[in-house]
Amino acid sequence: MVTDTYRHKGMRQKLVQGLKKKGILDESILEAMMSLPRHFFLDKAFEDWAYQDKAFPIDCDQTISQPYTVAYQTMLLELKKGEKVLEIGTGSGYQAAILHLLGARVFSIERHQKLYEQTTEILKKHGFDHIRTYHGDGYEGLEKMAPFDKILLTAAATEIPQKLVEQLKSGGKMVLPLGDLDIQKMVRITKTANGSIQKEVFDDFVFVPFVRGVE
């Protein structure tokens, strides 16, 4: 059984202090990251490294994002409690759990069947039953549950996915890494009342590629 010890909490506190120094100042995000054991979402072999500010490999050649990246993307979403959020790329489930702790209603799509099954089980095991997970193609979004207040991509797109823009509410925001395979810019899209988009460009990041289809 995976436990959360005083040692883990101490490492989390050190991580959160490091995030503050890097410019993450939203107290609600820092509190969520302080309260959520990241090692619950990693293989036991990585437990001692779970609170380093680094990405780590998970199944299906995917990664659990660096904590700074999770905090940065979450900050750009400008979440309000009760908002409906679509996450593209469930991965380890850590990002979805952070969104849930911030009061979002989370719907998350994972293209890898194996990862979808594993992560859904992990989320349920740790009390995140209200996060709704789906096995599907992130490029298609989740039309049956649209529209969404916010959409978050945890994989790098080479262009803005129009189907996802269509599933945003008027005034809704989408945060995504945008660019080629080597490096991407973090981008925030805001959908205007007439259906057009406003684009804001932020810092450089590196993500796994956003791939069509399912496995």
Q: Which residues are catalytic?
A: 65
Q: How far apart are CA 16 and CA 50, in angstroms?
A: 13
Bridge-based pairing state of the strands 105-110 and 84-88: parallel
Angle subtended at Cα 212 by Cα 211 and Cα 215, rounded to the nearest 5 degrees: 90
Task: Evaluate the omega torsion of the peptide bond into residue 57 and state whether it is cis, within 30 degrees of 0.
Answer: no
**From CA 195, how far away is CA 155, in angstroms rounded?**
24
**Any residues with CB less than 8 A from the CB of 147 and at least 6 apart, and which?**
84, 167, 168, 169, 172
Distance between CA atoms of residues 89 and 111, nearest Å? 7
Q: At a CB cut-off of 8 Å and minimum separation 6, what does 13 contact?
A: 34
**Which residue type is seen at 184?**
Q
